[in-house]
């Protein structure tokens, strides 16, 4: 029996399955799914691919609609973040969106008559984009020069000090580290930055003398800031600002999280908000959790190693719910996990090494101890 389906609707389903939908595509898909016949066709297409057990046996219409609406919200947050980047950092930069929203959108925003080779990164590729929209695929080239004062060294990019910089505006680069990858940079002032999975950072290739050294981040990074006389180092993320001189600290702010966490290892650090001049100081060995809705800061004494061990590939979970662990595993291994188990809110302690242990090994541990069952479909995992 042949299926009659609107071609546009079919294309939207295929985009959804391949995770290539943009916000407008998702809104169009929601319109189609209001028709019960279209909903049945949608389920059938999904079944043919990889979600047969989950979709056919467990998902109803409301759940499907909620999943698509949540994806729309996430995409809209990313678009809002992009606009904020341009506004908050007063550099002549063209910002890049989250990796899977594609390089094509950025190219459309560049008002230039120059023609250049178009490079579209895969979802699992680390890349740097400059102001001209040029893409540098970090892992595919042994030695690259992405600016006059930068070079690739092993598994990092080094920006050398550019003494001759005296202009009011300097070139800005944006690095994208996708889920399942980690990377590190040495900025031109000597500051070391370790970037965790799913992180975007915008930074100048050189810092102006005697001025605040500002970078913008969404995701998670560990900073070992080089002390410089008369020059504060500033990490911005949405409206949150962390200001330091010479300090080691971990900064985490993913768009989907309700709060941001800053853990100070050594030195001193001040936390502020763009809308106020008040500064909240943080001491070494303490974590500040910032409620992003009302900018309320709560502090607690912590073992900083738990929050910084990811730099060496070790991830430690302490008193975290199974849902929280799943969220981190998705970033670390670049997978999608659907949790149908009854242990979502149970607390767990565990540690893994993402360089030595595969996701099957990690879930195998939970299978042995807590008797969870999981099935793998391509890059997606269903837990029962």
Same domain? 158 vs 258: yes
Decide if 2 is inside a domain. Answer: no
Same domain? 152 vs 293: yes
Q: Provide the Cα torsion 237, 240, 245, 250; round to 10°.
A: -60
pLDDT in tens, 108-166: 443 443 444 556 777 789 999 988 888 889 887 776 778 888 888 878 899 998 655 55
Q: Which domain holds residue 52?
A: 7-73
Decide if 373 is inside a domain. Answer: yes
Quick one: which of 346, 338, 358 has its CA closest to 51?
338
The predicted model scores a pTM of 0.70
pLDDT in tens, 208-264: 888 899 999 999 999 999 998 888 999 999 889 999 988 999 999 998 888 999 999
- Number of domains present in the structure of the chain: 3
Quick one: which of 206, 196, 245 has its CA closest to 224?
245
Same domain? 166 vs 64: no
Predicted local confidence at residue 374, as pLDDT: 87
Tell me the β-bridge partners of 381. Answer: 337, 376
Same domain? 297 vs 338: no
């Amino acid at each position: 029996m042949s299926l009659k389906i609107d071609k546009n609707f079919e294309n939207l389903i295929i985009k959804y399955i391949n995770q290539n939908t943009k916000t407008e595509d998702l809104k169009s898909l929601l319109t189609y799914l209001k028709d019960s016949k279209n909903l049945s066709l949608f389920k059938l297409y999904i079944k043919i691919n990889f979600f047969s057990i989950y979709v056919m046996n467990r998902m109803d219409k409301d759940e499907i609609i909620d999943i698509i609406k949540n994806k729309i919200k996430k995409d809209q947050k990313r678009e809002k973040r992009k606009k904020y980047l341009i506004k908050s950092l007063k550099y002549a930069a063209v910002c890049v969106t989250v990796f899977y929203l594609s390089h094509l959108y950025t190219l459309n925003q560049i008002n230039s008559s120059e023609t250049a080779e178009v490079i579209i990164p895969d979802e699992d590729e680390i890349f740097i984009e400059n102001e001209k929209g040029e893409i540098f695929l970090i892992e595919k080239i042994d030695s690259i020069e992405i600016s006059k004062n930068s070079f690739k060294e092993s598994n990092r990019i080094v920006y050398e000090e550019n003494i001759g910089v005296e202009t009011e505006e300097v070139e800005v680069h944006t690095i994208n580290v996708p889920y399942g990858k980690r990377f590190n940079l040495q900025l031109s002032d000597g500051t070391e930055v370790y970037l965790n999975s799913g992180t975007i950072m915008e930074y100048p290739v050189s810092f102006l003398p005697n001025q605040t050294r500002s970078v913008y981040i969404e995701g998670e990074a560990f900073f070992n800031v080089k002390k410089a006389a008369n020059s504060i180092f500033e990490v911005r993320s949405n409206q949150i600002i962390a200001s330091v001189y010479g300090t080691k600290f971990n900064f985490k702010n993913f768009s989907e999280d309700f709060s941001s966490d800053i853990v100070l290892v050594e030195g001193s650090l001040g936390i502020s908000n763009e809308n106020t001049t008040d500064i909240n100081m943080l001491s070494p060995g303490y974590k500040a959790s910032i409620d992003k809705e009302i900018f309320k800061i709560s502090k607690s004494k912590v073992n900083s190693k738990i929050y910084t061990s990811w730099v060496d590939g070790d991830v430690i979970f302490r008193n975290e719910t199974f849902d929280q662990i799943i969220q981190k595993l998705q970033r670390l291994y670049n997978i999608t996990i659907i949790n149908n188990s009854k242990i979502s809110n149970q607390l767990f302690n565990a540690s893994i090494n993402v360089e030595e242990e595969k996701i099957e090994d990690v879930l195998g541990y939970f299978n042995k101890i807590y008797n969870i069952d999981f099935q793998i479909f391509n890059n997606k995992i269903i837990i029962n």
